[in-house]
Structures are given as C-alpha cells and as structure tokens.
Amino acid sequence: MSNSAHRKVDRLTLAAIASVSLPIATLTAPLVVYLPEFYTNALGLDLALVGTIFSVVRLVDIALDPVLGSFMDRTQSRWGRYRPWLALGTPLLMLSVAMLFFARSGVGPLHLLTWLIGAYAAWSIISLSQLSLSAELSPSYDERSRVYGWVQSGSIIGILLVLSLPLVIQRGQSDQYATMYIMGWLTICLMPLCAGFALMRLRGSSAAGHSEHGSLIEYLKLFRNPIVLRLLGADLLLGLASGMTSAVSIFFFTRALQLPRAAVAFMIIAHMLTAFVMAPVWTKVAQRFGKHRALSVSIGVYVLGQLLYLLSPPGSIAMAFLASAVAGCSYSAFVMFPRAMMADVGDDELLRTGVNRTALLYALLMGTWKVGQALSVGAAFVILSLMSFDPQRSVINTAAVHGLYLIYVGGPVILAMLATLAMYRYPLTSSRHAAIRAELEVRTDL
C-alpha cells in the first residue's frame, strides 16, 4: 500500500473543508428547530399545513439529490469534479435564506413552499460537494474518521453559534422576528467566506474511475450492494429519531417539561457542547474498534440520555440539562460515522464496477436522512394536531403531553435501537478496506 494511504491531512486543509459546515449548520438548525414554529406561531400559518409543506419539500429534495450526484460525478473541469458545484450553490443558498428568514406577516404557504425548495436545493448542492471533496482527501480507513470528525465539529460549532443568538436577543414572542433576522444574516455572511476559503485551499481532483450517465438504472444499481443497504438502513432510522426530536424540541421543553422558553437554547446548547467534546473521542474509539462498533456504542449512550428525560420532573432545568448533555454525546457519531463509512463504500463500488459514484453514494445517504427528517416532521405535527395540541395556547391537555413524550422520547429510542441491528456483523471492516485499497492501487484500469 502506498504511503499516501497513511499520510495525514494537514490541519489547514481540514479547517478549510470543515468551515463549509459552519453556514450549513447555521441554516440547518433554525430550519428544523425554529423555522416551523416561526411560520406557525409568529406568522400564523396552519400547524398541519406547515408540517405537510416541510414533508413535501424534503421528499422533492430527496428526488433531486441523485440527479445532482450524477451530474457532479460526471463533471470534468480544471477545478475538479466538485469545486464548481460548491461555488454554484453559494448564491442560491444566500437568496433562499433571505426570503425565508426575513418573511413578515401576510406571507402565504406558497412563499414558504417556493423558498424552502430553494434552500434545500442549495443545501444539497453544497453538502454533496463538501462530502465528496472530503472523501477525496484521504484513502485511509482511519484517516477518514478524522476528516469527517473535523467536518462534524465544524457543523457543531455552527449550530452552537446560531443557537446562542436567542440568548443575546431580548426575550419574548415579539422578538421572534429579530431572532430569525439575525439567524438569516449569520448564514448569508458566513456562506461566501467559508466557501471561498475551501475553494482556495482545496485542489481539484480527477478521481479514479469513470462515471456513467446519470439515470434511474444507475441509481438503482447501488441497491444491489448489501453494504449500501445496511448503511442506508441505519442512517434512515437515525434520521427518523433525530427528526422527531428536532421537530418538537421547543414544544417538548416548554409544554411537557414546563421549562421557560429562555431555557430551551441552554438545553440544545448542552446537547451540542457534549457532541463537540465527544467528536474526537468517537474518532479514537473508531480507530481502536472500527466505525460500525463505535456507532453502535454511541447509540447506547443516546438511549440512556433520552430515557433520563422520563426522570426529569416538570420545571427541573438541571435534570433536563443532564439528559440533553448525555444524549448529545452521540450526536456527532450519528452524523460522522455513516459519512466516513460511505467513503469506504465508494472504494468498494469502484473496485467492483470500475465506476466512480462518490457523489451519487452521498446523495443516497443524504436522501435516507432526509426521508427520516421529512417523515418525522410531518408525522410529529400531524400527531400533535390530532391530539388537539395548539401551539398558541400556554396550557395543553394531558393527551398532548403524552404525545410530546411519545414523539420526543419513545419513538427515537426504539428507532435508534433498531439501527444497531444494521451494524451487526458489518462486513466492511478496517482489514477488508485495506485489502480493497491495496487492490485498487495495483489496478491500472481505474
């Protein structure tokens, strides 16, 4: 095996690729946590209608991902396959964020639908570019854990940054407009700076292998790989779990746990702080025991944290803070490991077929996560609506409280535990990947 497989990626390059996570995170967190509530509570749109729009847009976005992935893999330019797409997605994201976050009373569901599609399309372009560029940085099984650990750490820093904003803004429902305005400007300002840093630091790579014309058949071929199915299954279940908690987090903390609204940001920040601290720890665990085993361990920690909410009495900030912190330990693992593992799958696909499908594989992975997020947001809001939950009422009935516990604790715990089954006897281990890389390096046709 060549020395390049063992060479570490320098920290400035890691910082460049990780910086792209900052604006994506400052968009993603408000998009799934604050924006649905903003459009129902402050702008007055129907709760079930908003949930349906978010679900429909995510499903449309999922259909777009494989098309984008195919075009990216087929792109040939002196700037490489993926860097031009990163440049393309930047202005689209900035415009869509401005239209979504700076909305005022009187906008209708069509406004939300249109610009939500734009935001998610830009999010897909930039994320696929970043993940594909990350996969090219190193062929090493262990080094990829480190690369995606940096990428995820950048994402967590961005989430912490945007979630800390409500703490410095005057509290109260009338300030929701100011909160969304500042969150929007944060993403708009960060996106060109971080994309520019990445584009200047990263070099275009003409990845090994050729890429077939994008088609439904090409997309479906990936499902013949049992390793792909395992990884997608785990990611789908974890996406469902994450989506359920994200969709109702504000409602759960303020109505079920009866915490003041100002405390919600502290709960989410506790979640993200432990995720940031644990990211390098999970990298070390993966290098010692393998990525699939590290992911399974992280799921166990997550289940423990979620169950602690059942022990949290109403109004207890300390107990809720502890539960959030423990559950947050696994957040970085849930995101970084499937992405690092998919880079290894890309090598397996290249060896088996001679076709480079890096971006298309990541389109699949992003698609399963989005399916989970889409179904969870829609289902959560519809369930709450059926239980007569009214987001504009300060007091809710017992059925609505039970529904919030079911959505925030019960469902995610079951889904996460099911995800561990997909990791049982996962075949693409460190030794297997080393053999794949060794064979790729002696092949002259790739």
Tens-digit pLDDT profile for residues 233-270: 999 999 889 888 888 888 899 888 989 877 887 888 88
Angle between helical axes of 141-164 and 11-19 (0-180°, round to 10): 50
Q: Which of 75-79, 158-162, 239-243, 275-279 has the highest mean pLDDT?
A: 275-279
pLDDT, residue 285, reads 95
Instruction: Give CA–CA dist 385/42, Å, rounded.
Output: 18
Nearest Cα to 186, choosing from 32, 22, 35? 22
Instruction: Give CA–CA dist 90/42, Å, rounded.
Output: 28
Domains of the chain, each with CATH number or no CATH: 3-442 (1.20.1250.20)
The Cα-based distances of 210 to 66, 139, 446 in angstroms read 17, 17, 8
Residue 205 has pLDDT above 70, yes or no: no
Q: Residue written as tokens 């947050």?
A: 328
End-to-end, the C-alpha distance of the chain in Å comes to 16
Nearest Cα to 295, choosing from 340, 325, 261? 340
In the structure encoding, which two tokens stand for residue 296, read together? 């399974």
Lowest mean pLDDT among 86-90, 107-111, 206-210, 394-398: 206-210
Could you tell me which residues come within 8 angstroms of residue 276 by beta carbon, excluding any fewer than 6 positions away? 153, 156, 157, 160, 332
Nearest Cα to 115, choosing from 170, 173, 39? 39
pLDDT, residue 107, reads 85
CB 355 within 8 A of CB 121: no
Residue 98 has pLDDT above 90, yes or no: yes
Could you tell me which residues come within 8 angstroms of residue 220 by beta carbon, excluding any fewer than 6 positions away? none
For residues 402-422, one letter each, b for 16 or more C-beta atoms within 10 angstroms of the residue's C-beta and e for the rest, the string is ebbebbbbebbbebbebbbeb
Q: Residue written as tokens 């989430």?
A: 159
pLDDT, residue 233, reads 93
pLDDT, residue 213, reads 46
Average pLDDT over the chain reads: 85
CA atoms within 13 A of residue 69's CA, in its CB half-sphere:
27
- Return the amino acid letter for 160: L
Q: Which of 68-72, 182-186, 247-251, 306-310 has the highest mean pLDDT?
A: 306-310
Taking the model in full, what pTM does it have? 0.79
pLDDT, residue 218, reads 66
Could you tell me which residues come within 8 angstroms of residue 133 by beta carbon, excluding any fewer than 6 positions away? 17, 82, 83, 86, 198, 202, 205
| 367-395 pLDDT tens trace | 887 777 767 877 787 878 787 777 666 66
Chain centroid offset of residue 265 CA: 19
| 138-156 pLDDT tens trace | 889 899 999 999 999 998 8
